[in-house]
Amino acid sequence: MQDLPHHYYASAKASADSHIAMNACDLPEIITAAPLEFGGPGNLWSPEHLLVGSVANCFILTFRAIARNSSLEWTHLDCSPMGMLERIDKVTRFTSFTINVTLTVPPGTDPDKAERLLRRAETGCLVTQSLLAETELLTEVIVES
């Protein structure tokens, strides 16, 4: 890892009636729109979906690093967060994220250790740590037979 601080840049552009084109460095362009709930088409990524997706992505990357540093073997991790958007005190914002994870580990793996490392990934995820919303982690560890 490079020394901190890190700086990340992105840009977005649109016309009055077009979808939004998002760019960052030399990454592939992402076309986004409002979600269906806000009158969007419902077939493109929205800021809301990108945020919830970022929670999942960051959780997996954080867990991967923690598992590697802790010598935990694992074969598969499903992470499916649900973000709750509410209007509180005239402000619409995400108030909570429920992060559902299912971790599959090889036979002989200590499921308690796997659970502890999943919990560490929750507290170490820089995306959720940067948000005001509460997070709840629901876990399942499956030991392959």
Rounded Cα gap, residues 137 and 38, in angstroms: 28
Closest-CA residue to 106 (of 64, 144, 63): 144
pLDDT at 1: 85
Neighbours of 102 (CB within 10 A): 14
Rounded Cα gap, residues 21 and 137, in angstroms: 33
pLDDT at 58: 98
pTM equals: 0.94
Tokens of 141: 């560890």
Digit-by-digit pLDDT tens for the chain (145 residues) are 899 999 999 999 999 999 999 999 999 999 999 999 999 999 999 999 999 999 999 999 999 999 999 999 999 999 999 999 999 999 999 999 999 999 999 999 999 999 999 999 999 999 999 999 999 999 999 999 9
Domain ranges of the chain: 47-143
Contact 52, 131 (CB under 8 A): no
Give the CATH architecture of domain 47-143.
Answer: 2-Layer Sandwich (3.30)
Neighbours of 56 (CB within 10 A): 20
* Termini Cα distance of the chain: 36
